[in-house]
Amino acid sequence: MMGEAAVAPTGAQVDAERLRAFVAEVFRHAGLEAAAADIVADSLVWADLAGVDTHGVARVPSYVERLRKKLVNAAPRMSVESRMPFAASLDGDNAMGALVAERAMREALERARILGIGVVVARRSNHFGTAGYWARKAVSEGCIGICISPASKSLAPFGSKAPLFGTNPFAVAVPAGARAPWVMDLATSVAARGHIRLAAREARSIPEGWALDRDGHPTTDAARALEGVMLPFAGPKGSALSMLADILGGVLAGAAFGGEIRDMNTDFSAPQEVGHFFMAMRVDAFMPAAEFAARMTQLIDRVKALPPAAGFDAVMYPGEPEARRSAERREKGIALSVATRAALAKVAGEFGLVASV
């Protein structure tokens, strides 16, 4: 049975809402309940809107493959254990990472609403996409949100040529009044591994300093970099932050740590066993929300009023590039690469759907 053509490009671009509906349909066919499929689709299309293409719908094929191989549980029953009122441990029951992250941040926000702060660690999870999407969930509730996760090993600790940490993302989101939220959302590698995977798929080279090949030599060849190791940003500093992600989202969360997380694209022997760390903290626990918003606006205004350096048109604050791209792509549509379109069409075809991507 062939389904409807689910994604129609508007010119060279794909409309975000149509893409979201298509991705949700794919995940429903892969076994997710409708509400769960919507949560996953929202998070992926949000990444494409924000320009984080490495963590957007390009991930659909590998997510679907793990669902099909029963390495991710399509019908999870998550459970929450709370030893102290402000804190909770979530057992994700090997659900898709987006579903674990959504539930964990919801639990943290519920605690923050009552107590001013909520901290949730999650275990038995999977890759959840961008950390910033989950941290941002706190902002509309008047909270500062934090989302941190270890990932499968690909990054050499400072001074080593062997991988142990992941590209372990760190995200902090802060309400910023009328402006788009301030959001620091970064891989602890020089660049996210997805950039290298995308470059390899599109036969592009990568900048020097991102990675070492398997012999420990610097390389600009994306394929060789994928066989080798990623480097932490800022040497020992990025290495320390990456290890902290392993501590909070692995050791403390009761999840895999120290190189134990399975690679979602290459290891199909068992579930990934990813853990995460989430925190939500109410701004009005410290000062009225309006006063905080005014002070944040002042800070951002001061940053943006600075004269741009050579090669820059304007000074932006963290989260601003994503907000700008999102506004533009919401209006003009999302330009998907040829490789991503082909991969989506293939997955859709396997479910008897036609995707004109």
Ligand X SMILES: NC(=O)c1ccc[n+]([C@@H]2O[C@H](COP(=O)([O-])OP(=O)(O)OC[C@H]3O[C@@H](n4cnc5c(N)ncnc54)[C@H](O)[C@@H]3O)[C@@H](O)[C@H]2O)c1
Tell me which residues touch ligand X (CB under 6 A).
52, 55, 127-132, 149, 151, 166-167, 169, 171, 183-187, 191-192, 316-319, 321-322
Minimum CB–partner distance for residue 256 and ligand X (Å): 13
Minimum CB–partner distance for residue 205 and ligand X (Å): 17
Nearer to ligand X, 142 or 166 (CB): 166
Nearer to ligand X, 29 or 276 (CB): 276
Minimum CB–partner distance for residue 8 and ligand X (Å): 28
Residue type, 148: I
Q: Round to whole Å and give the CA distance between 145 and 287.
A: 17
Distances (CA, A) of 222 to 138, 226, 263: 36, 6, 17
Nearer to ligand X, 54 or 89 (CB): 54
Minimum CB–partner distance for residue 274 and ligand X (Å): 8
Minimum CB–partner distance for residue 331 and ligand X (Å): 20
User: Exposure of 8 by Cβ count < 10 A (0-12 exposed, 13-18 middle, 19+ buried)?
Assistant: middle
Nearer to ligand X, 1 or 270 (CB): 270
Nearer to ligand X, 27 or 63 (CB): 63
| Tokens describing residue 179 | 């402006």
Max CA-CA distance within the chain? 59
Minimum CB–partner distance for residue 350 and ligand X (Å): 25
| Tokens describing residue 302 | 């001061």
Q: Round to whole Å and give the CA distance between 93 and 115.
A: 27
- Closest C-alpha to 88, from 277, 273, 238, 299: 277
Element (H, E) at 230: strand 229-230
Are 354 and 2 in contact, with CB atoms under 8 Å apart? yes
Nearer to ligand X, 52 or 281 (CB): 52
Residue type, 166: G
